[in-house]
Structure 1
Amino acid sequence: MSRLGNLGARLYRGDVGYDFIGKRKIWYGVSILITITAVLALAVQGLNMGIEFKGGAVFTTPKTTASVEQAKEAAEESSGHPAIVQKLGNGSLRIQISEVDTAKADAIREDLSKDLSVPTEKIGAELVGPSWGAQIANKAWTGLGVFMILVVIYLAIAFEWRMAVAALVALIHDITITVGIYALVGFEVTPGTVIGLLTILGYSLYDTVVVFDSLKESSKDITKQTRWTYSEIANRSINGTLVRSINTTVVALLPVAGLLFIGGGFLGAGMLNDISLSLFVGLAAGAYSSIFIATPLVADLKERDPQMKALKKRVLARRAADAAKAEQGEQGPMADAEPEAAAAGSGIAGQRRQADGRGRGRGGRASGKRR
């Protein structure tokens, strides 16, 4: 068995473990700090919305020798708006300009034809109205709301309402962090980004449900024992599924990292950034929230239950009694050693007194020659 597998088996058995629940205030503080940073980024910088949401035009040229910088300069000079230019795999260019209407799009097309030395009829133009983008945004918000409602209902039925609330908080945490990262780095938000967000919600729930299922199984008939509190059982559930969560997260992050850093970075396929960044950040945030947010929050909510409070008192009382017995057991041998030492001392003294009588004969007479 590998070292990681051996560690996973020891974590599952409870031979070793990290106190995630005991240090939950630290994780709460870190999460709050990250969330505040994400909200500030959204408030200050905002999101770089694509033309699918705010309207604009997309021009596609045939294979050309013009550079990306040359096409960007020509498009911005002609339109008066910032342009996003991407080099496609076949040598063509994709030029995206926001806030452009039909009349202006025709003029821009003519200017691009002259500046890039490309026939006008071979430059494709696609217009996107802002109303269509608004419809996409509304549908995305509606789908997100329906998704979260269904998640809460399902978790409340399959587990309990406390776990449903904790999972909902973890989902909001993951979405906020992911959207905040988009605001910080300035990546464009497209329908692919929305698809990526919906995908990470499912993955985040997967990690959370795995821990919740282990916790539900471990906490059956919990009030009939006095060995563990609910928080301690929750901590054992996290440790028992920790290696599995790490393995699944790493395996999922590797191909997404390839899309983001190799496809979008080295190869210049900027369209991959739309979905890969949301997946990369969301997968990492989902794994984090399932361990450091969702389960500790369930333990906090559960420990407020009167039965769990009574259980905690019984567990602490039993541990205090066991500690007292252990202390008495250590003092017992020391207390018994004192009489034994006293007896040994008296025995030595008796032997000395007996030695004084060795010279006496039978009848108590002193030994010696007869007179």
Structure 2
Amino acid sequence: MAAGFAKAGNQLYTGERAYPFIQKSNLWFLLAALAVLISIAVPFVRQGFNLGIEFTGGSQFTISQTEETDIALGEEVVAEVSGQDATVTNIAANTMRVQTEQLTDDETLEVAESLQQAYGVTPDHVTSTFIGPTWGEQVSEQMMLGLVIFIILVALYMALYFRTWKMSLAAILGLGFVVITTAGIYSATGFEVTPSAIIGFLTILSYALYDTMVVFDKIRENVQSLRQQKDQTFTERVNLAVNQTLVRSINTSVVGILPVGSILFIGAWLLGAGTLRDISLALFVGVIVGTLATIFVQAPLYARTRRNDADIVAHTEEVLRLRAERGIGTVTFSGTPLDEQGRPVPFPPLPEPEPEDEEDAEALEIVITGFEPEGHTPDGGGAHPAGDDVRR
């Protein structure tokens, strides 16, 4: 299996095999737009996000050194005392956390006593605190400020590094797609939004940017020599770059999601370590969406912004004209011509130039036949040295 994957990677890099990422950009843009619209609509359908106590404020109880880790016990205690719903989490070994809306002083004392009895611990092992929403608001403000600064720095860096604002525009729009889609998935799953989740959102932007830089750097390398070759169009050169980096993007994504997936599925759901679910879900979804955004949104978007440039249009027309002269009708998505069986073949040579008049024909005949290599005699007595060519 590994050998087959390596062979496929080599075929993608050489252009022997290619997938039409750029050629089918209209389809990808339509699917991306639908994903964004659905992600925006989900919070309204579900009446917003499941904000944690850090953003909404409320009462929190921590039960330590308990042998009982049943979540239902904490939920029943809060419902009996205050009639409110509670969020109960096993945050560590023998430690439970119960979060509710703000309780009165009497309700707080009664809930603490009931939790002590339900989980079989002493009063010293049950602590209660009140968390106001102000801290969560400050976290949100800092997150938005950090996001704006991050986007500005990314745009400037990419514009200076790649020397084109169009790559910066494609990268920023792709990052927006990653954030909106990840937030929509987060809302759809009902996971609690905590400061850790916010950190996860900012982390996935860095990962998505890394993958984008790898692909865009290969695109720049392929496009730099665009005018020195007449075999591939601009679109085909960009598509070749995406295919050449496809295996690397997949490998990087798999390496990234394996440990995060272990935390999310094994640590959080199987072992009950709920404190890691919020950040691990953001990272897990963000890594996957970030990779898809680079391949299906950012690279096609950059190609779309440049395909109508005057130099790109002129080069594309010249490549297509030369293909018509060579009689090439079918090519791969990387620009390699195919034979009748669909196998890649080298480009046919250009036809020999024909003389325009008799004078040119005579001059051409002299050039072709008038040269006599060493060892050759007009009467045929000599012989051409091995490997010599009479057409000089």
Bin of the TM-score, shorter chain as denominator length: 0.7 to 0.9
> Alignment length, in residue pairs?
328
CA RMSD of aligned residues (A): 2.2
Deviates more, 1:109-118 or 1:45-54: 109-118
Deviations 1:197-237 (A, max 9, x none): 11111111111111100011111142343222211100000
**C-alpha distance 107-86 of structure 1, shift in aligned 2 (>3 A):** same
Give the aligned partner of residue 159 of structure 2.
156
**103, 127, 130: which one pairs with 2:130?**
127
Alignment gaps of 5+ in structure 2: 330-347, 352-392
* Higher helix proportion (structure 1 or 2): 1
2:187 to 183, 188, 203: 183
| Aligned counterparts, 1:213-232, within 5 A | 213-232=217-236
Contact kept, 8 Å, 1:83 with 1:95, in 2: the verdict is: yes
Q: Percent identity among equivalent residues?
A: 38
Corresponding residue number in structure 1 for 2:35: 34
Matched, 1:167 2:171: yes
Counterpart CA distance in 1 for 2:90 and 2:220 is: 52
Could you tell me whether the CA contact under 8 Å between 2:81 and 2:107 is conserved in 1? no
1:24 partner amino acid = S
Deviation of 1:64 (Å): 3.1
Residue 49 of structure 1 corresponds to 51
Aligned runs of 1:1-371 on 2, under 5 Å?
2-45=3-46, 46-66=48-68, 67-100=70-103, 105-159=108-162, 160-323=164-327
CA deviation after TM superposition for structure 1 residue 89, in Å: 3.9
> Once the 2 structures are TM-superposed, how far is the Cα of residue 77 of structure 1 from its aligned partner?
2.7
1:101 positional shift: 6.3
Where 2:227 maps in the other structure, the secondary structure is: helix
Which sits farther off after the overlay, 135-144 or 31-40? Answer: 31-40
Render the CA deviation track for 1:329-369: whole Å, top value 9, x for unaligned.
Answer: 9xxxxxxxxxxxxxxxxxxxxxxxxxxxxxxxxxxxxxxxx
For the structure 1 residues 252 and 290, does the alpha-carbon distance in structure 2 shift closer, same or farther, using more than 3 Å as the test?
A: same
Provide, for residues 109-161 of structure 1, a one-character-per-residue CA deviation record: whole Å limited to 9, x for no partner.
Answer: 24434555543343112321111111111111111111111111111111121
Deviations along 1:18-44, one digit per CA (max 9) or x if unpaired, are: 111111111112211222211110222
C-alpha change, 1:239 and 1:90, in structure 2 (3 Å) is closer
TM-score by length of 2: 0.79
How far apart, CA to CA, are the structure 1 residues paired with 2:245 and 2:223? Answer: 15
Q: Deviations over 1:42-99 (max 9, x none)?
A: 2221110001111122211133355321221102332333211123443232111133
SS in 1 for 2:36: helix
In structure 2, the residue matched to 1:363 is none
Query: Shift of the alpha carbon at 1:180?
Result: 0.5
**Max Rg structure:** 1
SS of match in other structure, 2:277: helix
For 2:308, what is the secondary structure of its paired residue? coil
Using a 3 Å threshold, how does the CA distance of structure 1 residues 4 and 117 change in structure 2: closer, same or farther?
closer
| Secondary structure of 1:228's aligned partner | coil
C-alpha distance in structure 2 between counterparts of 1:2 and 1:242, whole Å: 16
SS in 2 for 1:28: helix
Structure 2 Cα separation of the partners of residues 241 and 324 of structure 1: 27
**1:81–1:97 Cα contact (<8 Å) kept:** yes
Distance 2:328 2:225 in 1: 27
Name the amino acid aligned to 1:293. V
Instruction: Answer whether contact 1:54 1:99 (CA < 8 A) is retained.
Output: no
Runs of 5+ unmatched residues, structure 1: 330-371
